[in-house]
Amino acid sequence: MTSARSNRRHAQINRRALIQGSAATAGSFALIGRDAVAARQEATPVMSQSVGDFDLMEVTIADLRTGLDNGDFTIRELVQASLDQIAALDAEGPTLTAVIETNPAALDIADALDAELAEGNSRGPMHGIPILLKDNIATADGMENTAGSLALGGALPIRDAFVSELLIEAGAVIVGKANLSEWANIRSPRSTSGWSGRGGQVRNPHQTDRTPSGSSAGSAVAVAAGYVPVALGTETDGSIVSPANANGVVGIKPTVGLTSRMGVIPISHHQDTVGPLARTVADAAAVLTVIAVADPADPAVSSQENGNGATPVASPAASPVASGSQPSYPARPEGLGAIDYTAADILDADGLRGARIGVWRETTGYHPHTDEVFEEALAALAEAGAELVDPVVMPSFEEISTSPDELFVLLWELNPGIAAYIEEYVDPEFPIRTLADVVAFNEAHPEEELLWFGQEFLIQSVEMSDLDDPEYAATVARTQRWGRETGIDAVLAEYGIDAIVSPTGQPAYKIDLITGDNWKGASSSASAIAGYPIVSVPAGSRFGLPMNLSFIGGAFSEPTLIRLAYAFEQATNARLAPALLEPMVIPPIT
């Protein structure tokens, strides 16, 4: 007997090329400045898959949910289109190198989820939605988890990360692992964002010789280029919001402890957090709704009550927290349970009206194009009904900007954190057990791992004292005070504001493996050391390169930040679709 689902209209999955004639391409070189960029964009082929009537570079989770529920296409067809998009743009074409590994079981998983839908069983909004995870988030499905390092090549996790479990339970299809800055950019002060020994160099889809930023480089590029509607990244300081800025997508860096870090290759148990990248605020909010579940094994929630009222107890093997370190995490509001971040009172197009927003001008001045886009964003905020408090001043800004203490905390926590992750999630027969083993591996394989830059930070972390050192505890307390009491909390209280806005970062600079990143400035460090959230949303562009606006708030203020960011997104529609441009050729002066 033929099922109703097999009689549905077969999805028309095809490759579409938007191509202008070669004469237009040649003519662009007679122009200069922004006119030249505009002409090049119009003349550049943009290859994209489609599923049903939807272009994968533009489709939203809501679009896909409607198409799947209406029978316009199957989950298998959707996942195949995602894999085809990866094949067309990652290893071929512009070679974006955003994906480090695809899931060989993805189509089988899709078939099983299709069967569930055929029986009338839906797991919810994420049922059948393709997603990529950064290659530092464990999955027990035969894919490796390496932080981009060849030293962990072959390290198959023995169980899923907590966030992976949640996504699988929600019906998401993990189609692969995203490339990243190796070791999440904690290897060398001269590193190049988006490069890893295992995956190579990720490229920016807006202009392929430009940085994707990092460390969640592949996650951001994959979303911008239509591989998947959403991806997971991780952030210690800037690693979600900075690539969101460089690639023109939305990034949510959650409060530390809102999402679990268990099963994530760590840098810092005080600062690490897992969050979504997406093309829209609504899609990022949908994923956050799934993964924002209190994990009893995570030290950031182990002394707090979860949404069901139980008192979780941290697993010592899963946590690198030493007995004498007494970590301090953001205070979880009493009774905080599950939140639907896609609720109508959060995704409110009029959500800026009446909001008091502080303008953090201390984070401007490092790039003129960034400042121009920021001023345009401020005008849009005011036009949408926000009351701007301009400027606001952070008492600890100088300390945050100049002190090396944050880096010292990260290096103190990295070494024991890596050992704890390997002990808990990697087969005990795997030869690499410690960060010292990683350092030795790299020294034994210099052509593969050390050709472009060194491993100074890894070596320094190995040589740091343990977490029972009183100086470590004092340094943590000092940096957290700068981020909280004399930082974000002080600004919110003094000015009576709902949130702070700042530029997320500069336009993407050129990739330079010889001398490293040409980084100018950002605004993520106060939130990083505080453990507080940021929502970064597209705000504008210059010369075809996007830039974002950051909404910054206090602990567990995600509903407010998402509401403000969503209203800003709806008011501006500032996201720039990638043009997959080749390197810009500057015309000669004639």
Residues classed as catalytic: 134, 215, 239
Which two three-digit tokens encode residue 248? Answer: 């023109």
Whether the CA torsion 90, 95, 100, 101 is positive or negative: it is: positive
Q: Which residues are CB-neighbours of 99 under 8 A, at least 6 positions away?
A: 86, 90, 132, 176, 177, 178, 179, 218, 222, 227
Percent composition of the chain: helix, strand, coil (DSSP 3-state, to 5): 35, 15, 50
Q: Which residues are CB-neighbours of 481 under 8 A, at least 6 positions away?
A: 396, 487
Which has the closest alpha carbon to 523: 332, 376, 358?
Answer: 358
Using the structure block, give the residue that is written with the tokens 């008492």: 395
Interatomic CA distance for residues 486 and 400, integer angstroms: 10
CA neighbours closer than 13 Å in the CB half-sphere of residue 231: 35
Rounded (5°) CA angle 300-303-309: 110
By the 10 Å C-beta count (0-12 exposed, 13-18 middle, 19+ buried), 454 is classed as middle
Which has the closest alpha carbon to 272: 364, 143, 172, 184?
Answer: 184
Separation in Å, CA 509 to CA 209, 327, 445, 449, 519: 9, 37, 29, 23, 8
Using the structure block, give the residue that is written with the tokens 């160099």: 201
CA neighbours closer than 13 Å in the CB half-sphere of residue 232: 37
Neighbours of 336 (CB within 10 A): 17
CB 538 within 8 A of CB 576: yes
Q: Quick one: DSSP state of residue 184?
A: G
> What does the H/E/C string look like for 533-588?
CEEEEEEEEECCEEEEEEEECCCCCHHHHHHHHHHHHHHHCCCCCCCCECCCCCCC
Q: Quick one: DSSP state of residue 47?
A: E
CB 537 within 8 A of CB 568: yes
> In this structure, are strands 200-201 and 173-178 parallel, antiparallel, or unpaired?
unpaired
